[in-house]
Every structure is written in structure tokens, then in C-alpha cells.
Chain A
Amino acid sequence: MSTEMLDNSNNILSTQEIKDSKKNQRRRKLLALFFVTPLVIFIIVSFVLPIGTMLYRSFYNPTAAKLIPQTLSALSQWDEKSNQIPNADTLITFTQELKSLAKERKAGKLAEEINRSLPGSSSLIKFSARKIAKKSDQNLAEQGDQLLLALKKDKWKNPKLWRSIKKSGAIFTDRYYLTALDLKRNSEGEIVQRETKIYLKLFWKSLKIALYITLLTIIIGYPISYYLSTAPTKTANILMVFVLLPFWTSLLVRTTSWIALLQTNGVVNSTLQSLHMITEPMDMLYNQFSTILAMTHILLPFMILPLYSVMKGIDPSYFRAALSLGGKPIPAFIRIYMPMTVPGISAGALLVFIISIGYYITPALVGGTDGQMISNIIAFHMQSSNNWELAAALGSLLLGLIIIIYWIYDRFVGISNIKLG
């Protein structure tokens, strides 16, 4: 029976027609790709590659490899477990490279790199570079190894130092990630925790601030969204302007307003003082409180808009049915109405949480020291301390965190449920 049908269907279209339809299909596919390609190329070049190179920078560290390339290639032949120092030729190569580094004033850079894998070795390398630089090329080529070993009481005879030099030559490093996670390697090369936690604390604080803001926007946004969704369309449209105008207003304007409101001599303090409710102005600006308050204000529309659009789509007769069947208003609201608004809450919560965790401007302006978030320390390492690699590692961790949150959301709710405006 089925073969008969297949035969029949084959007879409907000739081979030529099938071929044509396939060709047509391919043509349409190419046409669709043709439309998308310009933007894909643009986004890859202007956005994906920059972020890719940043990620690469967080574990790619060729500094030492560029400074002493020949020594490192000679060291690759050396058996580091042998408890012996490398052979004379390697040492001579090293002194020659050290000399040229000293001439170019780059010995300090090498010392810094090696000091990272063996703390305390920096001064020895700088000292040796100064001494070696005074010797002639001829002298170094003939007995550079002995000259080096004679410096500073046998310190160069320690295989541990040579192991560190070899290690510092590795092109890829996990060092910045270890620092970003408040970890380090001890002298035996094991990963141990640092005494003072900086970055983990900051990640934790950013998560906490983002969570507070998300909860606040849900608590504040839920009643207003419900009110807007049940109000007559005309009223709702007018009131919606009060939500949309802040949404469209520059976040710098809104941050400025909060500075004007919360300053020591600002509007809130002077109002309270003239009402004799307080005698001394309160410190409300430049702390965690002002960061959370200003960011809640800035991000509230991102909660209200998805909540409103979900609530608008809920048939009010469900709730009325629950009431008429004898349900008490509050339990009926919690058990019938609220579960239907979960898609709105979760979409709003995702938006608010993701935006707030990577926020930079508002904490930088009103956060003081106590309201700083992970973005601010990334900017600090980019601009002030010039530790770009650490900034890249912290940025990659933040990006990873956000991708995980998205992935979880997509698994359980679905990204396509989010709509704009």
C-alpha cells in the first residue's frame, strides 16, 4: 500500500520539477542569508571580535616569552625535575639576552614577570642585569655562565629559580583568573586562597545589590502594573506616560536628580529640616542606600512594562469566577491571579537583575566606596591601575555569570517571552 502511494506521488512531480523546486528552495535560503550577512559581519567585527580579544587577553600572557625567547627555547630542553641547573650554553644565552634587556631598560619588566612565579626574586634579577650589562659581549660569550653564577652568593645555582623562569615563559596563564577569584599559587605551585578577599566579596555584593533591586522593583512594580491593567484604557494610557517618560529619560538625568535630592544640602534634607523633622542633615548620598534607591528608580520601568503586558492579557473573569465560587479575595488573588502573572514577573526580574548586575554609571556617581559594584572595579583596573589582564579576567567572569543566568532562564521560561514596550 505504502509503496503504491510513493509511486503515485513520484508520478505527480517529474524529476525535473523536483530538481527545480530544490533549486528554488536553495535560492530562497541564499536570499535570506544575503539580507542577514551584512549585519552579521558588522556585529562580528565591531562587537564579537573585541570581546573575543578581551577574553583572550585574560589568559594570554606573552610578556616573558617575548623578552627572553632564546633562553626559554633552550630551557625547554632542560629537565626541570633533575635538581640541576641548566647547562652552560643556556646560561650564556640568558646572560646575553639579559644584557640586551638591560640596555633597552626592559630588565625590570622581566624581573616583575619572574617575581610573580617566585616572589622575592625581582631584586636579584635587576641586580644581575646591571652587573651583566657592564661585561663585554666577548666576555659573556666565553664565560657568561660563570659570571652569572658568581653573582649574589650562589643564588643562581638554585634550580627553583630556573624553574620559575621557565614557568614565567608560559604563554597561557591562569594567573589573572586566580587573582579574580581571590586565589593564588604558593611556592609549591598549589592553588591556595588569599588572606584578604577582594573580588569574591565584590561579586557577592553585586549579586546582593542586584537581588535587592530586583525584589524592590517587583514589590513596587506589581501593584502599579495591576492598577494600570485594570484601569479603563483611556486612564491607563495617560498614566502609562508617567512610566514611559522615566523609561525614555537619560539615566544620567535621573542620576543627577537623585544627587540633587539626596545631597547634604539637597532637597530632601532641606525639606525635612524646614519641617523640623531632623536637626542635622542626613548622609544619604554616596553609599549603598543611594545606589539601590537610584537604580530601583531607573530600572522600575523594566519591571512594570513586561508585568503590565502580561496582566493585560489575563482574563479578569478567572478571578471573578474564583470569588463567585466562594473564594476569599486574598487567597483567590494569590492562588488564581498571581500564578498567571509569573511570566511577567520572571521576564521583568531577568531584565532588572541582568541590567543591574553589570551597572556602572550610577554606582560610580552615587555609590561612594560602599556602593561600588564589580563593573566599577573592572573600570578601575582599566583606567587607573592599568591591569588590563585582570580587568579582562573579571569581565569574563561577569560575562560567564550573565550567560549562566540567561541559560537557566531560557531553560525554564524561554527568552522569546520578552517583549519591548
Chain B
Amino acid sequence: MFPSYFTFWQKMGIYGLRLVAWATLAFLMIPILVIIPLSFNAEPYFTFTQGMLSLDLDAYSLKWYQEIWNDDKWILAIKNSFYIGFWATVIATVFGTFAAIGLTKSEMPLQSAFMALLISPMIVPLIITAAGMFFFYSQLNLAGSFTGVIIAHAALGTPFVIITVNASLSGFDYSLVRASMGLGAKPVYTFFKVIMPLIRPGVISGALFAFITSFDEVVVVLFLAGPEQRTIPRQMFSGLREQINPTILAVAVLLVVVSALMLITMELLRARSEKIRTGV
């Protein structure tokens, strides 16, 4: 498997590299994989029991998953997370896509200054954003309301939409727009029938980024949301601080499933976007 001219040390080097690489991948994956069996633990411990190690079926149970289902707090948190995430994504995607179209136009004045302004929510540490929003939104009576949290999450999500839509617009041929207009199409029609289909993968992946940003976000929720707006990460945060029990592990496993689904969608989109760009 190695070229014959490779020396012993070169071969050892390649084996060593492979070993280190696999060790790194294990370091990345083990903490995520280890919670999956732990969440089926019949005992309220965060570790493997003797029974689990000997693969005794009685040592495993679904009771922590039932616990989620029976706990109003978790159900509310799940509903809230999807509700807030959905509206934040809609706002971020609509505003972000429009802005990205404007930003990539060569006539756009002060391009880099606008870009810096619109990307800034991604750069400023969340604790600063959260503190500032808490002061400001309280004065507007938006603290402790869904509107406040949704607006905050939409602001945090827009930079991702701008970046992904920008990337999909970078290979965009504006003569298509001129052709469409020249053939008599109205601007709105051109937007939905010519521009949109071509940048759709970028828009959707931006929307997914915006959704996951809101779905995972906890610092702003910690400061801005009242008990009515508790989301899944917020509920996990207080669970980890107050009384740790394996229900949190069960929730964590469900979240891993959600992120796996996201990842698969993203990869499919990427493949599609490459197809559009290369035209194959």
C-alpha cells in the first residue's frame, strides 16, 4: 500500500499521523456518543452501571424519555424552542436575503462598512449582547416577552444568512436578470422565478444556520426571557445547575438527533448548490 521507495521512517510517520487523526476524531465524537447509552440507564446515575456493562436488559429503560413527555416544563420548553426558532428564522432569512442581494451589487456604496455592521452580531460576545439587550428591551417592555426573544434571536441569526446567501450569489450571473426583464418580466416575478431558484440552496442553508443559532442560544434567553419563554437550552442550563438527573441526558440525545438531521440536510444542500454552480 505504500510506494516501494518509502523509507521505514516515512511509513512510521504516516502510521503515526493516522493514529493521531483517529484519536482526534475519537476525542470529538466520544463525548457525544457516550450520552446515548447513558440516557437509557434505569438508575438515576450519570455513569454505566454493572448491569449496563453486562448488557442486562433490565438495566436499560426508556423512563427518562417518558419523564420528558410527562413534565410540563419540558413540553413547554420544546414548544417554545420551536416557536421562537421558527419566527426568528423567518425574520432573519427574509431580511438577510434581501440585504445580501443589495450588498453584492457592485453599485452598493460603503459596501465593507455595511458588511461590518451587519456581521457584528456574530462577533460581539453573547454576554455583551445579552446585557445590552436586557437594558434596552426592559425600557421598551420587551423583556420577558416572546417578541423580545424572537427579535434578539433574529438579529443573531442574520449574519449567517448574509454569509451563505453572499456565497451563493458570488457566482451569480446578473445578465439572467437583464434577460428576464428584457423579455418583459416584472421585477417581483424575476425575483421569484429567476434569482430565487438559483440562490435557494444558500438561502436554505442560511435559514438552517439561523434556526440552529436560535435553537442553541441560551445566554440571551437567560437574560431576556421570563419563565413563560423558557427554551430547551434554558431548561437544560437550570437543570445542570440545580438538580442533575438523566432526563437532561435524554433531552441531549434528542438534540443530537436534531443536529444530525440538520447536518444531513446541509450536506444535501451543499451537493445541490455545487451542482447548480458547476451546471453538471
- Interface status of B117 (Cβ within 8 A of chain A): yes
A52 and B136 CA atoms in complex are apart in Å by 9
Q: Which residues does chain A contribute within 8 Å of B98, judged by CB atoms?
A: 35-36, 38-39
Contact with A along B168-201 (1 / 0, CB 8 A): 0000000000000000000000000000000000
- B2 close to chain A: CB less than 8 A: no
Q: CA of A406 to CA of B116 in the docked complex: distance in angstroms?
A: 11
| B76 contacts partner chain A, Cβ-Cβ < 8 Å | no
A342 at the interface (CB under 8 A from B): no
Q: Interface centre among B47, B218, B255, by most A CB within 10 Å?
A: B47
Number of interface residues of B (CB under 8 A): 86
Q: Count the A-B residue pairs with Cβ separation under 8 angstroms: how many?
A: 265
> Chain A: how many interface residues by the 8 Å CB criterion?
87
The answer to whether A36 touches B135 (Cβ under 8 A) is no
Q: CA–CA, A35 to B223, complex, Å?
A: 32
Q: Nearest-CB distance from B157 to chain A (Å)? A: 11
A54 to B, closest residue via Cβ: B132
Q: Verify if B118 is at the interface (C-beta below 8 Å from A).
A: yes
Does A213 lie at the interface of the complex (its beta carbon under 8 Å from any beta carbon of B)? no
Q: Give chain B nearest CB distance to A316 CB in angstroms.
A: 14
State whether A402 touches B124 (Cβ < 8 A).
yes
Q: Is the CB of A253 within 8 A of B255?
A: yes
With A223-B21, A253-B35, A253-B252 as contacts: A43 and B158 at CB distance below 8 Å: yes
Say whether B28 contacts A252, CB under 8 Å. Answer: no
Q: A36-B102, A223-B24, A224-B20 are in contact. Are A50 and B125 (CB under 8 A)?
A: no
| CA distance in complex: A395, B132 (Å) | 9
**A227-B17, A300-B28 are contacts. A38–B47 as well, Cβ < 8 Å?**
no
- What is the interface of chain B, defined by CB distance below 8 A to chain A? 9-10, 13, 17-18, 20-21, 24-25, 27-29, 31-32, 34-35, 38, 45-48, 91, 95-96, 98-99, 101-103, 105, 107-109, 114, 117-118, 120-121, 123-129, 131-137, 151-152, 154-155, 158, 160, 163-164, 167, 209, 212, 215-216, 218-219, 222-223, 233, 236-237, 240-241, 244, 248-249, 252, 255-256, 259-260, 262-263, 266, 270
Q: Give A contacts to B, CB under 8 Å.
A: 25, 28-29, 31-36, 38-40, 42-44, 46-54, 57, 220-221, 223-224, 226-228, 239, 241-246, 248-261, 263, 265-267, 269-270, 297, 300-301, 329, 354, 357-361, 364-365, 375, 378-379, 382-383, 388, 391-392, 395, 398-399, 402, 406, 419-421
